[in-house]
Amino acid sequence: MGNLSPNFDSSEFTCKCGCGAFIKNGELIQMLEKLRTTMNAAAVIITSGTRCSAHSVAVGGTMTDAHTKGIAADIRVNKKDGTSYTSGTIAREAEKIGFSGIGIIDNIHCHVDIRNLNNYYNAHWFGDERTNNDYISTFANYGEPILKDDKHKVKISIEVDGEKVEEKTVEI
């Protein structure tokens, strides 16, 4: 099908504004192929690949986001029956195979990227673009990630020589 890999074509990664901006990143393409295989998907649809700075800002990104560096794609993953996987399922599978930037866009679309300290200013980001919340937890282990600003109550017991000295509930 494609000139970049068996399932991806350069047209999917060219800036949608028509400027012609295109960055081929073999590692990103390999990771997307791996995601497709791992999920036994009919297709991974690229809704946004490389973006020029102006187009990135126009669609709600920044002038120097991961799309402008050619290390990101916004995707939808189609099942063999023609329906789409949920964004939560995509995020969990993307994390398992090693994407280091993952964002929930809506119910069926995810942002995935291969950021690291050599190609971006931070090496990790998980979040929800609908709410602009960043996550401190993982998609793979917790189902619904823990928000960075969530408060949690924990019970702490202090024992000395097997005898409870103090017990209290604190918010972390």
- For residue 108, the domain's CATH number is 3.30.1380
Interatomic CA distance for residues 86 and 109, integer angstroms: 8
Q: Which of the pair, 155 or 13, is modelled with greater confidence?
A: 13
Interatomic CA distance for residues 75 and 49, integer angstroms: 9
Q: Is residue 48 part of a domain?
A: yes
CB 48 within 8 Å of CB 28: no
CB 70 within 8 Å of CB 15: no
Mean pLDDT across 90-100: 94
Amino acid present at 53: S
Q: Is residue 2 part of a domain?
A: no
Measured CA to CA in angstroms, residue 28 lies from 25, 85, 123, 146, 151 at distances of 5, 20, 15, 27, 35
Residue 119 has pLDDT above 70, yes or no: yes
pLDDT digits (tens, 9 = 90+) for 140-154: 654 555 444 545 455
Structure confidence at residue 157 as a pLDDT band (50, 70, 90): low
Give the residue numbers spanning the domain of 130. 10-171
Q: Is residue 85 part of a domain?
A: yes
Q: Is residue 114 part of a domain?
A: yes
Number of compact structural domains in the chain: 1
Q: What is the pLDDT of residue 33?
A: 97
pLDDT digits (tens, 9 = 90+) for 34-87: 999 999 999 999 999 999 999 999 999 999 999 999 999 999 999 999 999 999
Angle, vertex CA 128, rays to CA 46 and CA 28, nearest 5: 35
Q: Is residue 155 part of a domain?
A: yes
Q: Is residue 5 part of a domain?
A: no
Pick left, alpha or beta for residue 122 (phi over 0 → left; psi -120 to 50 → alpha; otherwise beta): beta
Neighbours of 93 (CB within 10 A): 22
Q: Is residue 1 part of a domain?
A: no
Tokens standing for 25? 């990143």
Place of tokens 């187009």: 55
**DSSP 8-state code for residue 12:** G
Is the pTM here over 0.85, yes or no? no
Cross-sheet strand order for the sheet of 133-134: 43-48, 72-78, 109-113, 101-104, 125-128, 133-134
Q: What is the pLDDT of residue 137?
A: 73
Q: Is residue 23 part of a domain?
A: yes
